[in-house]
Amino acid sequence: MNNHTLLGFWLKRFFIEYLISVKNLALNTQHSYRDTFRLLLPFIARHARKAIDQLTVEDISPERVRLFLLDLEQKRGSSVVTRNQRLAAIWSLAKFIGLYSPEHLHWYGQIRAIPIKKAPRVIIPYLEKIEMDALLKASEGPMAQQCRDHALLLFLYNTGTRADEAAQLTIANLDLAHAPRREHSLVIIKGKGNKLRRCPLWLQTVNELAPLIAERSSTEHVFLNRCGQPITRFGIHALVKRYAQKASTKYPSLKKKRVSPHTIRHTTATHLLRAGVDINTIRAWLGHVSIDTTNIYAEIDLDMKAKALALCEIKTNSVKRWRINASLMNYLKAL
C-alpha cells in the first residue's frame, strides 16, 4: 500500500510540519488536537475493522465522522462546544491533506461540508463583589500555604488570567516597583497563541507577591505547590473550589454557582465594566483577540442594564386618559 494513502503518514506530518513548524500553536492547543485524534482513530478503526496503523485517509469518511461526533455527545457526554472543537481539528487535518495531496481534494470537500452544531447561549457566571471578597477572606491566614493561596486568588482577580497562564507565570514576568506607592507595577502574561500582554498590579497584589518571590531565581515559577514544585492549572482549580466551599458556609449564594478560575476571570471583567473601564481596555486586559468576545460582559451585567433602564424611564406626574373622538369614529364607520 502506498504510504501516501495511509492516515498515519499524514497525521505525523500534520503535527510536526503544520501545527508546530508552520502554525507554532501553543502546547495546550497541540494537546487538544492530539486528544481529538486519540478519540477518533480507535472509533474509525472499529467501524472500518482495521488496525489503526492500517487506516487510510478515506477511511475517515464523512458518515463515520458524523457518527463519531454523535458518539461524543451521546456516550461521552461532551458539550456542543467540545463537539465543534473536535470537528475543527478534523477539518484542519483534512485541509492539510488536501493542500499537499490533490487526489484527496474531493474527500477534503466532503469532510469540510460537515456543519458545526449551533450551541445554546449559556449565561456566564461571575461573582458579586461581596462574594469575591468572601472568597479572598476564606484564604487568609498566617500559614505559608495560606499566604500563597491568598496571593494567588488576589492575582487571579487583579489580572483576570486563566488558570494555565497563572501556573506558567515566572518571576521574570513580574515587574514590581521599588516604591509601589509612587510607581506602577505590572506583569507580563503569556496568553493563548503565545501572545503577550501587560497588566497593572494593585498595591495589595504587589505586597502579597513580594514575600513569595524574595531571594528566588527569576527563572522560577511564581506559584509553587506544597512540595515546592510549580503549581498546575489543575491545582489552581482545586484551590479555588476548596475556598469557594469554605466561603459558602457564610455566603450560601456561592453554593448555587460553579466557582472556578474562569469564574474569577469573568468576575474581573464584570467588575471592571461596572467601574467604568471602557470595553476595549477590558479586551486588552483579558487578552481577547476580538472585541466581540469582550462584549458578552456588557450583556450579562444586570446591574448595568437596570441603571440604563432607569435612565430611559419616562417620569410623568399624571396619567392622561385617551379620549375617543365620537365624530371621527362615526366617520370611520361610514367608510
Select from 198, 224, 223, 11 the least CA-distant residue to 97.
11
Catalytic site includes residue 47: no
pLDDT at 21: 83
d(CA 80, CA 60): 21
In this predicted structure, the answer to whether residue 289 has a pLDDT above a threshold of 80 is no
pLDDT in tens, 175-224: 998 877 778 899 999 988 778 999 999 999 999 999 999 989 999 999 99
Query: Do the domains 129-310 and 3-112 match in fold?
Result: no
Q: One of 4, 112, 192, 233 is an active-site residue; which one? A: 192
pLDDT-derived band of residue 329, with 50, 70 and 90 as boundaries? low
In this predicted structure, the answer to whether residue 325 has a pLDDT above a threshold of 80 is no
pLDDT at 308: 46
Cβ–Cβ < 8 Å for 251, 167:
no
In this predicted structure, the answer to whether residue 68 has a pLDDT above a threshold of 60 is yes
> Which CATH class, in words, describes the domain spanning 3-112?
mainly alpha
Catalytic site includes residue 297: yes
Give the three cell numbers for residue 330. 362615526
Mean pLDDT (whole number) for 36-41: 96
pLDDT in tens, 11-34: 999 999 889 888 888 788 889 999
Query: What's the whole-number average pLDDT of the chain?
Result: 87
pLDDT at 301: 55
Q: Provide the 3-class DSSP secondary structure of residue 4.
A: helix
Can you give the C-alpha Rg of the chain in angstroms? 27
pLDDT at 303: 56
Q: One of 83, 265, 266, 283 is an active-site residue; which one? A: 265
Catalytic site includes residue 106: no
pLDDT at 210: 93
Cα-to-chain-centroid distance, residue 254: 21
d(CA 37, CA 93): 10
Mean pLDDT (whole number) for 261-276: 89
pLDDT at 318: 52
pLDDT at 309: 44
d(CA 190, CA 205): 19
Q: One of 83, 148, 262, 266 is an active-site residue; which one? A: 262
Question: Which residues, including other chains, have CB under 8 Å from residue 146's CB and lie 6 or more apart?
Answer: 139, 140
Cβ–Cβ < 8 Å for 63, 81:
no
pLDDT in tens, 153-184: 999 999 999 999 999 999 999 999 887 777 88
Phi, psi of 211 (to 5 degrees): -65, -30
Q: One of 148, 162, 266, 283 is an active-site residue; which one? A: 162
Q: Which CATH architecture has domain 129-310?
A: Orthogonal Bundle (1.10)
Give the percent of the chain with pLDDT over 70.
Answer: 85
The backbone region for 118, taken as left when phi is positive above 0, alpha when psi lies in -120 to 50, beta otherwise, is beta
In this predicted structure, the answer to whether residue 118 has a pLDDT above a threshold of 70 is yes
User: Could you state, in order of their start, the residue ranges of all structural domains in the chain?
Assistant: 3-112, 129-310
Catalytic site includes residue 250: no
Mean pLDDT (whole number) for 91-118: 95
How many CA atoms, within 13 angstroms, populate the side-chain half-sphere of residue 240?
A: 29
d(CA 33, CA 49): 24
Cβ–Cβ < 8 Å for 87, 114:
yes
